[in-house]
Amino acid sequence: MPIPCHLCCLPVVRRSKECKSMSQDQEEQEDELLALASIYDEEEFRRAESAQGGEIQICLELPQDFKIVVKGDKQTEHAVSFLPPLVLNFELPPDYPSTSSPEYTLSSKWLSRAQLTAVCKSLDELWRVNQGSVVLFSWIQFLKEDVLSFLCLQSPLEIVSTTKALPERKRNEADVKTVKKPGGAPLENGGQESLDPRAVVEVDPRANILPQLLDFDEAQRQKVFDSKVYCCAICFSEKLGSSCLLFKECEHVYCKACMSEYFQIQIRDGNVQCLNCPEPKCTSVATPSQVKLLVGEELFARYDRLLLQSSLDLMADVVYCPRQMCRTAVMVEPDTTMGICSSCQYAFCTLCKRGYHGLSHCRATADELRSLRDEYVSASDDGKKFLEQRFGKRVIQKAVEESFSREWLDQNCKGCPRCGTNIQKVDGCNKMTCTSCKQYFCWLCLSLLTRVNPYSHFNNSGSPCYNQLFQGVDVDEDDDFWSDDDD
């Protein structure tokens, strides 16, 4: 019996509808992927080469002054503007969006698997509501704008930095967390949900997550800074942030050209502690990494060396080898005055910087003795005791006596211009006779006077002491100033 025509054509019509549906799905998939590529840059969206799919990195929009609290051995709080992105890897099946949902995994560095499981269920719910239509953009908007409120996360966000290594069974049990719906209501099944295999935590739970979070935040801040335009407060030129330097403490901005010249001058002058913000009264200091970017290798090596030396100078238990050819930093044991250089093996006294002399007192040089008296007189009781232990009490007394004697001689005597003997003028005129070498000289200008006519110095109009024989002298009428025997 011949087959009716309409029954013969039925499978052909059905296949035609299926082909039309698949063709429409492919067209909608391609349009959706092209739209995502046009909206997001290459860092945010990467299309897969071998399949209909790709990877989307979603950075959450954090409110201002958002902070994270890291709980570990010590609880610390940090302000952040960015957190590492949620990563959505997806593949579109042939019958998407007409029938099937995209296949995907959702990963994060700072959310737990339980939290990611709750988010996956919310994405599935969005698909059920929008089945038959493309859904990737709706997923992205939800992840970017609503995840924090959906998971009831707010500042300060608590993050666990480290965990001890747990057996596999206990670690899996610890991953099952109580996840709440928006508004604080717990999920079904007693508030606990089994973990979704599509939820992936990218960080080892035993690792310290804090450095990764802070590094990412710093990198994103720098990226935003580089894209903006700033006016340099030195040359008043407008430049992109990528050509500028930001002092992190005060947030003042200057162009790199001006700061490079400023840093180079300071380093050449040895002022490595003065690489601060040029703003008046600002105390912000450039970091070594910022300095390294703006000066050459040779200057940075000098900066690094001087900075280390200045830091060592502030340490009470560090001294330098006194040998000029060495100058190596030496650690000194507590309650000892002996230092041994690790480079040249020189044993020296840490007080006087000479060769180690055991329990003997340090020997003071002539210059040290001259300043020792002032230091001893103005020192506290502990300071005087230290100086007596270092130099010896007898040396201290001698230095004090000699310095007082020298001070009195400097104030009341003048040295003979011929032999240098100290001469004190008690009375009489300004023509003096040295008690040692018998040389005549002028008290005012210390010029040598002739023995034939010593007073010509005061009678000559071209002399600097003309008519000043009695300058500064109280003259009594009965005194005979012209007698050489009274000088």
- Whether 139 has a pLDDT exceeding 90, the answer reads yes
- On the question of pLDDT at 186 being above 50, the answer is no
Handedness of CA 127, 130, 131, 133 (dihedral sign): negative
229-231 and 238-240 beta bridge pairing: antiparallel
Secondary structure class of 174 (helix, strand, coil): helix
Closest CA to 90 of 77, 99, 103, 80: 103
pLDDT at 118 over 90: yes
Q: Domains of the chain (ranges plus CATH)?
A: 18-204 (3.10.110.10), 228-314 (3.30.40.10), 366-413 (no CATH), 421-487 (no CATH)
Tell me: pLDDT of 286 over 80: yes
Determine the Cα–Cα distance for residues 340 and 429; give it in Å rounded to an integer: 63
User: Beta strand 76-79 with 67-71: parallel, antiparallel or unpaired?
Assistant: antiparallel
What is the pLDDT, as a whole number, of residue 183?
41
Counting residues of the chain whose pLDDT is more than 90, the rounded percentage is: 14
Residues known to be catalytic: 429
Torsion angle of the four alpha carbons 457, 462, 465, 471, in this order, in degrees rounded to the nearest 10:
100
Q: pLDDT at position 312, please?
A: 66
182 — pLDDT class (breaks 50, 70, 90) = very low
Phi, psi (degrees; rounded to nearest 5) at 394: -65, -40
Spatial CB neighbours of 201, under 8 Å, sequence gap ≥ 6: 107, 108, 109, 111, 112, 113, 116
Summarised one tens digit per residue, pLDDT across range 402-414 is 666 666 767 778 8
Lowest-confidence pick of 16-25, 63-72, 316-325, 443-452 = 16-25
Segment among 53-57, 61-65, 94-98 with least mean pLDDT: 61-65
User: What is the reported pLDDT for 13?
Assistant: 41
Beta carbons of 155 and 66 less than 8 angstroms apart? yes
What CA–CA distance (Å, rounded) separates 201 from 163?
Answer: 14
Residue with tokens 């500064």: 472
pLDDT surpassing 90 at residue 435:
no
